[in-house]
Amino acid sequence: MTNEKVLIFDTTLRDGEQSAGIGLTVEEKLVVAKQLERLGVDIIEAGFAASSPGDHEAITTIAREVKTPIIASLARCVENDIDLAWEALKKAARPRIHTFISSSDVHLMDILNKDPEQVLTMAVKSVEKAKKHCDDVEFSPMDATRTDLEYLYRLIEATIEAGATTINVPDTVGYTIPSEFRKRIELIKDNVPNIDKAVLSVHCHNDLGNAAANSIAAVEAGARQVEGCINGLGERAGNASLEEVIMTIHTREDIFGLTTNVDTTEIYPTSRLVSDITGFIVQPNKAIVGANAFRHASGIHQDGIIKQRTTFEIMDPQVVGWSSNSLVLGKLSGRAGLKSRLEQLGYSPDDTELNQIFDAFKELADAKREITDADLISLMSSHRRHVDIKESYKLDHVQVTCGDQQIPTATVTILFPDDKLVTDASTGTGPVDAVYKAINRIIEIPNSLTEFRVDSVTEGIDALGDVTIRIKNDDGTFVGRGSDTDIIVASAKAYMNALNRACVASQ
């Protein structure tokens, strides 16, 4: 079985977006989808077409523009859902309809209020209908790990007979443990007579912290598709972290004898992109992509690494896209040096983008003696935020006075779409509060601030500060991010970024 493939099904744009506080635009979803294509995932679940016009539009756009992977849409076992999924997918080079229905007793009684035979009939009819639209149909019995096994066998057999080409076994509430899940997959393989006619898939949630381990256990048992999200995003505690699953298969090929189609060097750039766009930071000790994943503080570890990397590193950082180059950039660096470093970090700016980025780079270099990789990644993230979102309003100037003997006061100037500059001022309980109140006096978009977070991009007193905020109004929740060596300016940029997102959503 050496070199047999495990298919990677990415649901960052569907289940990942269900993380509380995430709301992506069509343009942002397309950016992520194109990066997932570079990463080499086999299937992108681009959304749930029936859930909203925005999801339908995003799936349609991704289906039209992203050609290499299979593009899937989720659909309940409801006729209209399946029709809407196909309508969104029909321009895809490789479309898949992914239909699902609850199968556990607790779901049947408390959610569907239907008996098992009714659900089986609905599942079969839905797969048959999806099959009329496209050949590639996936079926998921939701809450499969709490479903009676004999009923699960019948449901899977019937849906394969109806035309399902992939059967996905979801641990919807993260209930199972690895040994138990492995056994369930083995039993399905042994007791469903036609299981060889479909790819066996798993979709694990992380409520007990077992999602990646459960996925790997299923692969050991014969599952050949794994579903999950970049950075482990998803409903509640999230989904299986795809980078962990991928690198487990890659690193322990001696155990599994399996491979994936993933370009592992794109893992870290993909993680950074998803973190930047969603506003969900990656915890420092996160496996594979966390800031500390390849850092060594212990003297014993450091000594070992210096003598032989493999003493305390089971993976080469560069294999997952981390850079180990020590080229230092500063205010005397030119465009060529900047472009070379950005390319080593996985970016490919064209001449126009390079000119825009170079101006921002020079401003940053004037404020900092040396520019680190983390600074450049933050710089690119900031550039992407402005490109991805139409800026109706631009921050032109912010000035703050504050202190323990003064009332914090902010003066803000904003550039409007008609090139008109508007200035106003306000006091507040602190400098950031004063800035936000001044901006609110100029841009009248009602909202409430639900999250405010400050992170240091790099170490040192001259570190870039990265501010992430979330605001909420009747149109939804909007993430804003801003970076600057001045944390107050970074806060203003983040707020403007969120307001511009809200402005786009209201149009």
Does some domain include residue 125? yes
Give the CATH number of the domain where residue 167 resides: 3.20.20.70
Rounded CA separation 38/366 (Å):
34
Kindly state whether residue 284 falls inside one of the protein's structural domains. no
Percent of the chain with pLDDT strictly greater than 90: 65
Question: What is the average pLDDT across 396-417?
Answer: 94
Domain final position from 361, 386, 411: 386
Q: Angle, to 10 degrees, between the axis of helix 431-442 and the axis of helix 487-506?
A: 30
What is the spatial distance between Cα 503 and Cα 506, in angstroms, rounded to a whole number?
Answer: 5
Pair 218, 299 in one domain: no
The mean of the pLDDT values for the chain is: 90
Most confident of 152-156, 265-269, 494-498: 152-156
197: closest CA among 154, 218, 236, 167?
167
- 458 in the same domain as 447: yes
Residue 160 lies in a domain: yes
In terms of domains, do 47 and 105 share one? yes
Instruction: Give pLDDT, residue 326.
Output: 44
Are 343 and 414 members of one domain? no
Is 283 a member of any domain?
A: no
Range of the domain at 333: 325-386
pLDDT of 135-150, one tens digit each?
A: 999 999 999 999 999 9
Residue 287 falls within a domain, yes or no? no
Same domain, 372 and 417: no
The answer, yes or no, to whether residue 304 has pLDDT greater than 70, is no
Predicted local distance difference test score (pLDDT) of residue 298: 58
Q: Is residue 285 in a domain?
A: no
Whether residue 289 lies inside any domain: the answer is no
User: Which is nearest to 267 in space by CA: 233, 290, 239, 235?
Assistant: 290
- The pLDDT confidence band at residue 1, using thresholds 50, 70 and 90, is very low
Last residue of a domain, one of 249, 278, 307: 278
Higher pLDDT, 246 or 345: 246
pLDDT at 412 over 50: yes
> Residue 343: pLDDT band by 50, 70, 90 thresholds?
confident
Residue-wise pLDDT tens digits, 366-391: 877 677 777 787 778 777 666 566 78
> How confident is the model over 35-62, as a mean pLDDT?
97
In the predicted model, is pLDDT for residue 99 greater than 60? yes
Entry pTM: 0.83
- Given a cut of 80, is residue 338 above it in pLDDT? yes
pLDDT band at 331 (very low <50, low <70, confident <90, very high): confident
464 pLDDT band (50/70/90 cuts)? confident
Is residue 286 situated within a structural domain? no
Say whether both 364 and 428 belong to one domain.
no
Q: Indicate if 73 and 183 belong to the same structural domain.
A: yes
Do residues 227 and 99 share a domain? yes
Say yes or no: 381 and 455 in one domain: no
User: How high is the pLDDT of residue 385?
Assistant: 61
Pair 158, 197 in one domain: yes
Q: Give the residue from 278, 303, 338 where a domain finishes.
A: 278
- The answer to whether 188 touches 220, Cβ cutoff 8 Å, is no
Q: How confident is the model at residue 187 (pLDDT cuts 50, 70, 90)?
A: very high
* Total of domains in the chain: 4
Give the other-Cβ count within 10 Å of 235's Cβ: 19
Helices 53-65/26-39 angle, 10° precision: 40
Mean local confidence (pLDDT), 449-463: 76
- Tell me what percent of the residues of the chain surpass a pLDDT of 70: 92
- What is the per-residue pLDDT for 461? 57
Q: Are 339 and 428 within one domain?
A: no
pLDDT on residue 325: 44
Task: Looking at the structure, tell me whether residues 416 and 308 fall in a common domain.
Answer: no
- Kindly indicate the confidence band of residue 293, based on its pLDDT and cuts at 50, 70 and 90: confident
Residue 406: Cβ within 10 Å count: 9
